[in-house]
Amino acid sequence: MSTELTEKRTGPDVAGTLRAHPRFVRVWLGQASGAVGDQLLPVALSLYVLHAGGGVAEVGLVLGGRAVSLVLCLLVGGVLADRLKRTRILFGADLFRAVLILTAAAALPWLPLTAVPLLTMLMGAGEAMSRPAARSLIPTLLPDALLERGNALVAAAHRSSAVLGALLGVSLVALIGTRWALALAGVVFALGALTVLNVPEKAPGTPGQRRTVLADAAHGLRAVRRRPWAMAVMFTVCLHLFAGTATALTLLPVISRDHFGGDVAYGVVLASMAVGALPAIVVAGRWRPRSPGTVAMLVLTVYALVPVSLAAPFPLAGVVVCFALGGFVVELYFVYWASALQRTFPGDVLGKVFALDQLSAYALLPLGYALVGPVVGAFGTTATLLGGGVLVAASSLLCLLVPGVAQLGGGDRTR
């Protein structure tokens, strides 16, 4: 374990307030700006493709470009986050996206539709570079006692941006056009880059211990494998996205059209999940239970209501409440989980651990989306949704049987 990490974790647990840590505040502001840009961009480009004569397939390619880049580049981002100064990675990723999107805005009248998915792929690569660096940077900016509050504030920025970015994207395209909407997104990324410029930070890792990229990735994987509780939680969340999220989000627009009157209900239900997450951020930021893993896994059983609410389906108000509860429990889990990883893993592998966490979460999601149609054809919509809910609830409870999950590792800080 590095000297820096040892000093941080064995020092006095005097936290103060987040405002007393200006480096964290600056990094948080930069990430909040980038999060708005990340949400604004796909909305604006999707509308641009539709207005230019594209259809569902073209929009799917635009949205899929970002997901593909995240899967392909996250682990590289994790390796870099454990080799380089993380603030430099954040600055470079935001500057790269700012230049890219401003160039695209200038060239938009001559940009063919076939190039738009490539643009979202490149933007997704920048996002993949910044995610592990941002999350592994937090424990170097805050004392141990403030990790939950810091992670809660980061989660609040990302959840708020999911609503704000989408609304801004639609509004700006309608009011000033796609070109200017993209230009504003570029400015947002540029502001994010300036916010983290010259934030003092020590480089992670130890000089002279460089490995190849593959060896470095394997080093991070070994660190996770030595902690069965971490692997169990990662696998459980992977099942949740596969059985719960993919099933519910694929069938939600169809059920909204058939039972709730169309696209407005679809948007309201999705927004309710982001809104429901906000109170969880406040709770998790102020409450540190003795067994955070027990709390996290028990509340995640409630996520089963997301697919189950669509099975009957419930009345629209009931579906909205269930999706809001789903957002609440996911965010509560995330704050405790991220804080546990930051406390448990040494700084020289933390970036790779966060990258592996993201990769494991999304590993089965594309397969889940692909299987919903055939499973519905074979068993029906109701059975598919109920089955997804049962798998979510059962996997959450079974995860608690793995030693170490109840405490999310507790004092486990071995390499």
Tens-place pLDDT, residues 117-170: 888 889 888 888 888 888 888 888 888 888 888 888 887 777 777 666 666 666
Vertex 163, ends 263 and 46: CA angle to 5°? 60
pTM of the full predicted structure?
A: 0.75
Return the residue matching tokens 């993949």.
128
Give residue-wise pLDDT tens across range 229-288.
999 999 999 999 889 988 888 788 778 878 887 667 776 787 788 788 889 888 988 888
Task: Name residue 328's amino acid.
Answer: F
> Which residue, 257, 238, 255, is CA-closest to 308?
255
In three-state form (DSSP H/G/I as H, E/B as E, the rest C), the secondary structure along 179-243 is: HHHHHHHHHHHHHHHHHHCCCCCCCCCCCCCCCCHHHHHHHHHHHHHCCHHHHHHHHHHHHHHHH
pLDDT in tens, 207-245: 445 666 677 778 888 999 999 999 999 999 999 988 998
Cα(198)–Cα(196) distance, rounded to whole angstroms? 6
What does residue 370 show for φ and ψ, rounded to 5 degrees? -70, -30
